[in-house]
C-alpha cells in the first residue's frame, strides 16, 4: 500500500521546523496515495525527510499537524494527548477545585490537537470537531477521554453539525457517544449554571470568561451593572454574588434571556436586583439613561475573516463609544473582543478612538485574555483570540 503522503516544495518546511501546526496548500508540491479529506497523511520535505504527520483537509490550510515525531496516529496517540491535556488542567488547579466542575479539557492547537474542542460540564464532556479529521477519529478520542477521566465522566455529547466544513460529505449528526441521562447543571467557582449543550451556542457555555467574571465580581459591590451580550448571564451572576445593587442583563436572543433568568433564579431565588431584557444592543444603548457605573460589553465575534476586519473595528468603536459616553463618572467598563483576526493592538485602537469620540478621560486598569485552560501554543500565536480591557472612566 502506498503511504498517504504530502511532499512539500523546496524550503517550505521552515515554519514546520518552528512547530507551526498548519500547512498551507501553496506549500505543497505533490500529494501521493490519494488521501481523502480527514485522512492522516505523512508530510515530507522536498528531499523526502519526515517532518510531520497530520489530518488532510480541503481549503487553504491543507494539513493540520498532529505530531512532529514519526509516530503512528493510533489509540495510544489519542490517549497520550488527552492525558497531557488533562494533566495541564490538574497541575494548574482548574480541574481539581471542589467548587469548579466547568472547564475546557482540550483547546485545539493550544493542546496540540488542531480542530478539537472538549469542554467539561460536571460529569458530561461536550466534544466539538472543527475538522473532518477530528470527526473521523471521534470514537478513538471519546475512548481516550473515558479512559483518562474514568468515573468522573458519565456522558460524552458530540456536537459538530455547525463547526464542520459544510461541504464535507459526512454524517454530522449531533448526539451522545456515551451515556445520555445527563444533569445539565454545572458549577463554576461555586456558582451554578444550566448548560444547554443540545440547543445552546458553542458547546453550551462560554468557559473562556471564567477568570474575567471572577475579576468583575471584585468590582461589583454597590454598583449598578449592565451586562450587555449576556448569553447565559455569567457576568450577571458573579456580580450578584459580589454585591451589586442593580444587575441588568441584555441579549438579542430570547433563549439567552430565558437561560439568564433561570441561572439567576438557580443561584439567588427571588432576588429582585436582577432584570433581563431581550433587545438589540445598539437599540438598548441608545435608549438607556446614564444610570450604570459598571458595564460589560462581550459581543459575538464581529469579524470571522480577515476581509471583514475593517467593518468589525468600526463596530467595536461604535459600541464602545456609546458605553463610554453614557457610563457614570467613576464608572468601570469591561470590554471584550473574541474575534481571532482582530489583534490586541487593533482592538485597543478601536477602544481608544471610542474614548476620544466620547471625550472622556479613560484609563486602563487591566488587560485581559483567555484563561489557562485555553492555552496558546507559543508556536501558534493565532490561538490567542480573547482580548479584554477594564477601563476606568472619570
Contacts to ligand SAH by CB under 6 A:
206, 209, 229-232, 234-235, 251-253, 256, 280-281, 298-300
DSSP state of 5: E
Q: Are strands 61-67 and 22-24 parallel, antiparallel or unpaired?
A: antiparallel
DSSP state of 383: G
Q: What distance in Å separates the CA atoms of residue 374 and residue 361, rounded to the nearest whole number?
A: 33
Shortest reach from residue 281's CB to ligand SAH, in Å: 3
Neighbours of 359 (CB within 10 A): 8
Q: What distance in Å separates the CA atoms of residue 214 and residue 206, rounded to the nearest whole number?
A: 14
What does each C-alpha distance from 50 to 6, 7, 42, 104, 243 come to in angstroms?
Answer: 10, 10, 7, 32, 59
Query: Based on CB atoms, which residue is closest to ligand SAH, 253 or 261?
Result: 253
| Helical axes 75-91 vs 138-149, angle rounded to 10° | 50
Query: Based on CB atoms, which residue is closest to ligand SAH, 231 or 316?
Result: 231
Q: Are strands 331-337 and 294-297 parallel, antiparallel or unpaired?
A: parallel
Note whether 355 and 362 are within 8 A (CB). Answer: yes
| Helical axes 210-219 vs 234-241, angle rounded to 10° | 40
Shortest reach from residue 325's CB to ligand SAH, in Å: 18
Query: Based on CB atoms, which residue is closest to ligand SAH, 176 or 277?
Result: 277
Shortest reach from residue 202's CB to ligand SAH, in Å: 8
Query: Based on CB atoms, which residue is closest to ligand SAH, 126 or 132?
Result: 126
* Element at 24 (helix H, strand E): strand 22-24
Residue with cell 451515556: 179
**Residues linked to residue 192 through DSSP beta bridges, in sequence order:** 187
Shortest reach from residue 251's CB to ligand SAH, in Å: 5
Query: Based on CB atoms, which residue is closest to ligand SAH, 25 or 252?
Result: 252
Shortest reach from residue 298's CB to ligand SAH, in Å: 4
**Residues linked to residue 129 through DSSP beta bridges, in sequence order:** 116
Query: Based on CB atoms, which residue is closest to ligand SAH, 8 or 386?
Result: 386
Query: Based on CB atoms, which residue is closest to ligand SAH, 168 or 214?
Result: 214
Shortest reach from residue 306's CB to ligand SAH, in Å: 21
- Can you give the C-alpha Rg of the chain in angstroms? 22
Query: Based on CB atoms, which residue is closest to ligand SAH, 51 or 323?
Result: 323
Shortest reach from residue 234's CB to ligand SAH, in Å: 4
Shortest reach from residue 334's CB to ligand SAH, in Å: 10
Residue with cell 518546511: 13
Residue 94 sits at the vertex; the CA angle it makes with 255 and 300, to the nearest 5 degrees, is: 30
Amino acid at each position: 500500500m502506498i503511504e498517504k503522503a504530502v511532499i512539500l516544495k523546496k524550503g517550505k518546511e521552515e515554519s514546520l521546523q518552528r512547530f507551526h501546526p498548519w500547512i498551507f496548500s501553496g506549500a505543497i508540491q505533490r500529494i501521493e496515495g490519494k488521501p481523502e479529506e480527514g485522512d492522516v497523511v505523512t508530510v515530507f520535505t522536498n528531499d523526502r525527510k519526515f517532518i510531520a504527520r497530520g489530518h488532510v483537509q480541503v481549503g487553504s490550510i491543507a494539513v493540520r499537524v498532529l505530531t512532529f515525531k514519526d509516530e503512528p496516529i493510533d489509540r495510544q496517540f489519542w490517549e497520550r494527548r488527552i492525558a497531557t491535556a488533562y494533566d495541564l488542567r490538574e497541575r494548574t488547579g482548574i480541574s481539581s477545585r471542589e467548587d469548579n466542575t466547568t472547564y475546557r479539557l482540550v483547546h485545539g492547537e493550544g493542546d496540540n490537537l488542531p480542530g478539537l474542542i472538549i469542554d467539561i460540564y460536571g460529569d458530561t464532556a461536550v466534544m466539538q470537531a472543527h475538522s473532518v479529521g477530528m470527526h473521523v477519529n471521534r470514537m478513538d478520542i471519546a475512548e481516550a477521554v473515558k479512559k483518562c477521566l474514568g468515573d468522573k465522566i458519565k456522558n460524552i455529547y458530540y456536537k459538530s453539525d455547525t463547526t464542520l466544513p459544510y461541504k464535507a460529505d459526512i454524517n454530522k449528526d449531533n448526539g451522545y457517544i456515551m451515556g445520555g441521562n445527563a444533569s445539565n447543571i454545572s458549577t463554576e467557582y461555586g456558582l451554578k449554571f444550566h448548560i444547554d449543550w443540545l440547543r445552546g451556542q458553542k458547546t453550551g457555555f462560554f468557559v473562556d470568561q471564567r477568570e474575567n467574571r471572577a475579576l468583575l465580581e471584585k468590582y461589583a459591590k454597590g454598583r449598578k451593572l449592565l451586562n450587555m451580550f449576556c448569553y447565559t448571564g455569567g457576568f450577571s451572576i458573579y456580580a450578584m454574588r459580589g454585591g451589586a445593587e442593580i444587575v441588568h442583563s441584555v441579549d438579542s436572543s430570547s433563549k439567552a434571556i430565558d437561560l439568564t433568568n433561570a441561572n439567576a433564579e438557580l443561584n439567588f431565588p427571588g432576588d429582585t436586583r436582577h432584570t433581563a431584557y431581550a433587545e438589540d444592543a445598539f437599540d438598548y444603548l441608545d435608549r438607556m439613561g446614564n444610570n450604570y457605573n459598571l458595564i460589560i460589553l462581550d459581543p459575538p465575534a464581529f469579524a470571522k475573516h480577515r476581509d471583514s476586519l475593517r467593518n468589525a473595528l468600526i463596530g467595536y468603536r461604535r459600541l464602545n463609544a456609546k458605553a463610554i459616553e453614557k457610563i457614570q463618572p467613576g464608572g468601570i467598563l469591561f470590554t471584550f473582543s473574541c474575534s481571532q483576526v482582530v489583534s490586541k493592538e487593533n482592538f485597543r485602537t478601536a477602544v481608544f478612538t471610542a474614548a476620544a469620540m466620547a471625550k472622556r478621560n479613560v484609563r486602563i486598569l487591566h488587560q485581559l485574555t483567555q484563561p489557562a485552560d485555553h492555552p496558546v501554543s507559543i508556536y501558534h500565536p493565532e490561538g490567542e483570540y480573547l482580548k479584554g480591557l477594564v477601563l476606568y472612566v472619570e
